[in-house]
Structure 1
Amino acid sequence: MHGGIVVLQFLSVQSGNNFNQVLTHSTRAIVVVYGGKIVGERYAPGWTKDTPQINWSSGKSITVALIGVLVQQGRLRLDDPAPVKEWQAPGDPRREIRIRDLLRMSSGLDFANLGLSGPASYTRENEHMRIYFDGLNVFEHAVNQPLEIPPNTQWRYRNSDPLILGKIIREIVEARGESYLTFP
């Protein structure tokens, strides 16, 4: 019944001005799914279901959910080393990074290293923009970063760990002949 209560609350918001108050915080759309079906949706003025939306870090939540599906299917285990072929050379310390470390953003990778030189090529402030707007192959870029600190020793909010999980998802799904873009 809890899901039904959420749906009723959503419909209440949808019928009143409360929805417009929600939109004052940069929310452009609300979609409620219950029982595998869309039971309600509402969009800010000028926005529709067909309007492309920038999702930024919500993609991290989707990635983690897809990792959960693979774990549930028995295709991954949280405490196994991350199956990243670039890390398999003998003596590569990244071999110790587990799926769990990537999920916790505690891989220890030096994501600030963009492989560039020159004083204007990278600052901590532009790391986010570089990853999303510079046309990098973000999966390959993320897995090729060096280890900065030992895995599972420090939490750091970085883009690298979820990007690596995305690469892992893609490789596992495509190895079975499934479509990465429509998984699960």
Structure 2
Amino acid sequence: MSRRTAIRIVTATLLTAAALIFRPDRAIQGATGNVAQTLCSEVFVSGLPEARVYAQSLAPNPGLRLLGPLLRHKVDRTDRAVEASWAGLFASRSTYRGAAGCRLAYGRPPEPAPLLAPPTLRTDSLAGPAPVETENPVLKAALDHIFAEPAKPPHRWVRAVVIVHHGRIVAERYAPGIGVDTPLLGYSASKTAINALVGVLVRQGRLEVDAPAPVAAWKPGDPRRAITLDNLLRMTSGLAVEETDTGFDPTSQMLFVEPDMAAFAASRRLKTKPGERFDYASPNTLLVASIIRQKVGGSETDVLNFARRELFDPVGMRGVVFETDAAGTPIGSTRMLAPARDWARLGLLYLHDGVVDGRRILPEGWVAWSTRPTLGSDYGAGLWTNAGDAPNAKGRVRAGMPRDAYFASGRLGQRIYVLPSQDLVIVRMGATWSPDFDIAGDLRLIRETIAALEPVPRP
């Protein structure tokens, strides 16, 4: 065998091995799934223009840019669906399903939308139907600053800010084409809603966070049976479910390739002992969402109606759209849409220790447990926290965020800040592509908002 032939054989072998390990086909399939699902959700649920959604929510994505002009999509307004493909291959299709939002088809015909109970109509205690415009010059300047676009990319593209003080909206602002009723995608801020639903089931005596997670795929003798619900909520399960947002990572492929996301998450091996290491990854949350679905009846209709009846309606969140996978499991890691005011109501639930209008929704002590730092990180159990000594938490405190503050956070700058010492909730939604999603801009907004509002009177 000649040297050249040997080199060719070795090269071909290495390339084949790399393809089998990294599965570029699945990465491309995930990319088309991302395009189809994001466009479907933000065009048909949020009501945003197709060009705006692609320019703000997709085009800046480095992985999608690598695929170049061969990555194409089509919005079908007749069937209310979006199809995306690369070079005519790896097609993904997402279809709008009314109150259940959009769902990827996974090569199957569209399923009928579930029969959901309508939200309960009630008087809005936060504000009237029109956006609240502040006359406070300091607060107005704070909104000007957070909405101001930098001279060059990455853009902020802030879509909504809502500021709630003493239980009332004192200021809010929306980008053009977005209003008080526009459902906005929360990405990982959705995890806080999953935390709340677990809290409801704990209060009802139907779940225990310290008990082994009831995952049917983990049979007796399986070391994964040691994983608790606490481990899943705190991202300490030890499962090999890395999240790098590259398209090659298990999380990306779970979200846009796998029809049963929780089953995929349950199939992952252990890489560390449960409870020993914090490793933030969305498949943990999908397992929790699947557990919730099984506990409340098992079907998509059961779980969505449970969420509306036991959480969203009592809290006053009338505009929530929670998307599901093909198994009917809410994609609780990333796919809840809600108007900015509804996100603020979720923040108020935590600010008020899980009580709304005198009714306890979350068990006593749940908020304190949820905001307790996990293994030296600045993450609790579905919320990020300033408690503890994690560098990020200490940095936020130095920058002016109160020590007792905590927040829900999703990619592209979806954040719900809860500041108990100020009796304050601040919601900020956007399509912000800076590496930290403009946390510095948010910290300035928080500092300026605190300065603009009178301190809470001491008892």
Q: Which has the higher helix share?
A: 1
Query: 1:1-184 maps to which residues of 2 (within 5 A)?
Result: 12=134, 16-24=140-148, 25-30=156-161, 42-49=173-180, 51-87=182-218, 89-112=219-242, 125-126=246-247, 127=249, 128-174=251-297, 179-182=302-305, 183=307, 184=310
**Contact residue 70 and residue 76 of structure 1 kept, 8 A:** yes
Q: Using the TM superposition, give the Cα deviation of residue 177 of structure 1 relative to its aligned residue in structure 2, in angstroms.
A: 10
Distance 2:215 2:171 in 1: 40
- How far does residue 34 in structure 1 lie from its aligned partner after superposition? 9.1
Q: Deviations over 1:6-53 (max 9, x none)?
A: 98xx86489835334334544423457899998986422222355453
Relative to structure 1, the CA distance from residue 157 to residue 176 in structure 2 (aligned partners, 3 Å threshold; closer, same or farther) is closer
RMSD: 3.7
Comparing 133-142 with 161-170, greater Cα deviation is found at: 133-142
Q: Is the 8 A contact 1:101 1:152 kept in 2?
A: yes
CA–CA distance in structure 2, aligned partners of residues 159 and 168 of structure 1: 15
Map of 2:416 onto structure 1: none
The 1:56–1:124 alpha-carbon spacing in structure 2 relative to 1, beyond 3 Å, is closer
Q: Distance in 2 between matches of 1:39 and 1:139?
A: 40
Shift of 1:77: 0.9
List gaps (5 residues or longer) in structure 1: 1-5, 113-122
**Would the alpha carbon gap of residues 94 and 51 (structure 1) be closer, same or farther in structure 2, given more than 3 Å must change?**
same
Partners of 2:141 and 2:231 in 1: CA distance = 43
| CA distance 1:11–1:174, shift in 2 (3 Å) | farther
> Are residues 175 and 133 of structure 1, via their aligned partners in 2, closer, same or farther at CA, if it must alter by over 3 Å?
closer
2:258·2:264 contact (CA, 8 Å) conserved in 1? Answer: no
Larger Rg belongs to: 2
**1:32, 1:125 → 2: CA distance?**
34
Q: Distance in 1 between matches of 2:200 and 2:239?
A: 25
Change in 2 beyond 3 A, CA 1:141/1:40:
farther
Label 1:177 to 1:135 Cα distance change in 2 as closer, same or farther (>3 A). closer
Q: Quick one: distance in 2 between partners of 1:168 and 1:37?
A: 35
User: 2-side partners of 1:100 and 1:34: how far apart?
Assistant: 32
Q: Distance in 2 between matches of 1:35 and 1:66?
A: 25
Deviation of 1:104 after TM superposition, in Å, equals 1.0
Q: 2:205, 2:268 → 1: CA distance? A: 28
Structure having the higher strand fraction is 2
Q: After superposition, what is the alpha-carbon deviation per residue over 1:46-71, rounded to whole angstroms, capped at 9, x for unaligned? A: 22355453321111111112111111
Tell me, what secondary structure is at the counterpart of 1:174?
A: coil
CA displacement at 1:101 relative to structure 2: 0.7
- CA distance 1:40–1:124, shift in 2 (3 Å): closer
Q: Which amino acid aligns with 1:147?
A: L
- On the 8 A contact 2:254/2:283 being kept in 1, the answer is no
Moved more, 95-104 or 24-33: 24-33
Kindly provide the CA deviation profile for residues 115-173 of structure 1, in whole angstroms up to 9, marking residues without a partner as x. xxxxxxxx872224323333532122112211121100100011111111111111112
1:94: how far off? 0.8
Instruction: Give the percent of matched residue pairs that are identical in Structure 1 and Structure 2.
Output: 36
**Structure-1 residue corresponding to 2:321:** none
Q: Contact (CA 8 Å) 1:13, 1:19: kept in 2 or not?
A: no
Paired residues of 1:138 and 1:163 also in contact (CA < 8 A): yes
Letter in 2 for 1:172: K
Alpha-carbon distance between aligned partners in 2 of 1:65 and 1:75, rounded to the nearest angstrom: 14
